[in-house]
Chain A
Amino acid sequence: MTALTRIDEAGSTPLATASLNGILRVLTCGSVDDGKSTLIGRLLWDASDLFDDQRATLERGRRIDGGHPDYSLLVDGLVAEREQGITIDIAWRYFDTATRRFVVIDSPGHEQYTRNMASGASHADVAIMLVDARAGIKKQTRRHAAILDLVGLKRVVLAVNKMDLAGWSEPRFREIERDFQVIAARFHFDEAVAIPVSAALGDNVARPSDSMDWYRGPTLLSHLESLPSRGAEAAGPFRMPVQTVLRQGVDFRGLAGTVSSGVIHVGDPVVDPVSGRAANVKRIATFDGDLRRAAVGQAIVLQLDTDIDVSRGAILAAAEGRPHPARDLGTHLVWLSDTPFDTDNGYLLRTATDLVPVSAMEITSRLDLETLAEHPASTCAANDIVLARISLGRPTALDLFRNAGETGSFMLVDPISGATVAGGVVTELAGAEPKGARKAGVFVLSRDNLEGGLCADLGWGAADQVEFRRRANEVALLLSAAGIAVELDLQS
């Protein structure tokens, strides 16, 4: 009801065009035992515009201790999950309060689904970690904190649930809160808040608790409403990964993409870090007319004052603090595939819009999810979090993840099955070595190798050059799958 009432009160805003003030994506993590699905169900039940038929479904459903509806039924979607009573995949839920859109990303808690949690967390603006007040912080809480940190979450909330079953005890809550702060301090969170709640009874979820007058902080919902919307913080250097080139007639060659960091104005200089070529922004074009300025989150088309021949895969960046044309990376990644890492398997590195053959990859250590200690390792399998060194077949523009998240993250792709095998972030960067200084035993696949035969049918047009690069990538993959270290040198 809230959205409707608020808009009517505002009076001057025509109802039909009403929009909410932004979006907040909230990850929930914890195990089934901690009451995670119940907490989300409770949020939907108390705070949202849930439909009557959805409410009726819940009323008809099974009841749990105490006779209240099983709120978790609002969340667990797949038949397999309902049968097993567990959450195996991330689920997305949407609800509106008077001021904003909330997107709840519900992720599985079990250790064997660490990868699903990491995927879910990478989409979130804030994470709610759930613990049972009786059990307190568990190893799983530490593991979850490590995953949230890996994917770049800056805001975390610890919901200390089932306070009703812990006698609404303040000393118990404070003890858990202290343990949580110790863990949070290990990572790179900007904000870590603990809130005592009872999801089943609704205390401190959407309404303040009558049973915990010692707690003076916000309810979970009011805390979430106070956080900034996604896209509201335009800090950071300008970055726009180029998705595609759009043309009109002979005069307009536009570089289409989404601003992934910072702000751009007409007249600003931009640079392609790999070629080093620079130009100024002539137009910021959109379907709805030209803009003078565009900021993080906006999908635009940039026309430059000189054609510097950039296309998909490039990043347009502010000249100051530009991304590196990186060839050797230090990375932190989570292995997503059921097939373990294999040094003989060729991999592709997918950045924001580029797809680059990996010429060599080495695992250096693995995170012990029990102790959070790094142990030397050379292998990794599903759900493992590892440090790895990756060498690329050709340089591509990348940032350190901590400086610019979207242009500092990547996925590893199996070239044959196409499967996404890992997701990771860049922690160290080293650029291309000067020509002639290449390591012994590395085959350099050059433009000359390809032009005479395989690519003899291709000319110098843009489409042909895209196809040229595609074939070069594929050849590099086949060679590396055959055990030959290969580097691409496609400069003309």
Chain B
Amino acid sequence: MSAPLSHLDLLEAESIHIFREAAAQFRKPVLMYSIGKDSTVLLHLARKAFFPEKPPFPLLHVDTTWKFREMIAFRNKTARDLGLDLIVHTNQDGLARGINPIDHAPSVYTDVMKTAALKQALDMHGFDAAFGGARRDEEASRAKERVFSFRAAGHRWDPRKQRPEMWRLLNGRLGSGETVRVFPLSNWTEKDVWRYLAREKLDVVPLYFAAERPTVERNGQLLVVDDERFKLEPGEHVEARRVRFRTLGCYPLTAAVASEASDIEGVVAETLAARTSERVGRLIDHDQSGAMEKKKQEGYF
């Protein structure tokens, strides 16, 4: 007898199962690649699911033009090294209107440069299914999310009309105008993602590891200054601090944490001992009550 499967083995197998079901049932899937640690795990699992073939779908990155430069470099290298198709989409209309995370409220910026941009990209290419790295442990409204999450025409999510899922059966039959978001990491936690990155020896964006970075303290959060577009408010000054990120998004909207964890073992140790959840560093979630649920109803990933 072999040893029983560990919890990471079980999670990995479940994710592979979901990838294969979705690829078999949907006409034109795409993998939402957001460059972060969850996307790294997602992509790795996709490669496992279709071995010895390549994943039978392209990667899609919705580029707000406000991602950290190291993220973009990592994205391009990953697609090149693995020989995968990468589609990069930016909401050109939003760009022309100058919508940015510094002058506009996070909710407006997110709506235009992320939510609307994603819908544009999905519609433009006619994707009927999009894999995402969302996890149910991230946030309260995501705790109720399905593995196959159906969106009505216009990509709207209605929490009251979600399809029941039973046993391991996944029903991917689409109604008219419907599309689906597929979440293979539904049952993973933040800790699992780090444990798995370490176990599988996967590279991640170096921003996840502690280094001296130019930072500004604002409203009790540490922001990293990634380029000259960052505007200092009166009384603020840039200071070098040893920081890393637990979650990566657009740089003025993602807070860093002080840390000495400069490699993956260090990050895993910190994560296992962490006292706050990762979305504390995501400023958009705190914008209004029930913020994430509202964003989801509007089509945010």
Contacts and interface: CB of A to CB of B under 8 A. Distances in A.
Interface of A: 1, 3-4, 7, 14-23, 51-54, 76-80, 88-94, 96, 100-101, 103, 115-116, 118-119, 122-123, 151, 229-232, 243-244, 246-248, 252, 254, 256-258, 260, 285-288, 293, 295, 297-299, 301, 312, 336, 348, 350-353, 355, 405-406, 409-411, 413, 415-420, 423
A231 B24 CA distance: 25
B272 A298 contact: no
B53 interface: yes
A40 to B, nearest CB: 11
24 contacts: A4-B273, A18-B195, A19-B7, A19-B199, A22-B4, A51-B276, A76-B140, A77-B140, A78-B140, A78-B144, A78-B293, A79-B293, A116-B164, A229-B4, A243-B20, A244-B24, A247-B53, A286-B48, A297-B9, A299-B16, A299-B49, A336-B164, A405-B167, A415-B173
A435 to B, nearest CB: 30
Interface residues of B, number: 68
Given A23-B10, A89-B159, A420-B171, A103 B187 contact: yes
Interface string B101-138: 00000000000000000000000000000000000110
Contacts of B17: 243, 258, 299
B63 interface: no
B70 to A, nearest CB: 22
A51 B9 CA distance: 25
A78 B296 CA distance: 12
B51 to A, nearest CB: 4
A119 B273 contact: no
Given A89-B144, A101-B7, A416 B175 contact: yes
Interface stretch (B28-36, B92-100, B222-230, B261-269): B261-269
A232 B4 contact: yes
Contact of A17 (B9, B48, B150, B195): B195
Interface string B153-190: 00000011011111111010111001000000011010
A461 B42 CA distance: 32
A94 B136 contact: yes
Contacts of A93: 137, 143
B198 interface: yes
Given A229-B4, A243-B20, A409 B169 contact: yes
Contact of B24 (A91, A230, A285, A312): A312
B51 A246 contact: yes
Interface in B1-40: 2, 4-14, 16-17, 20-21, 23-24
A92 B53 contact: no
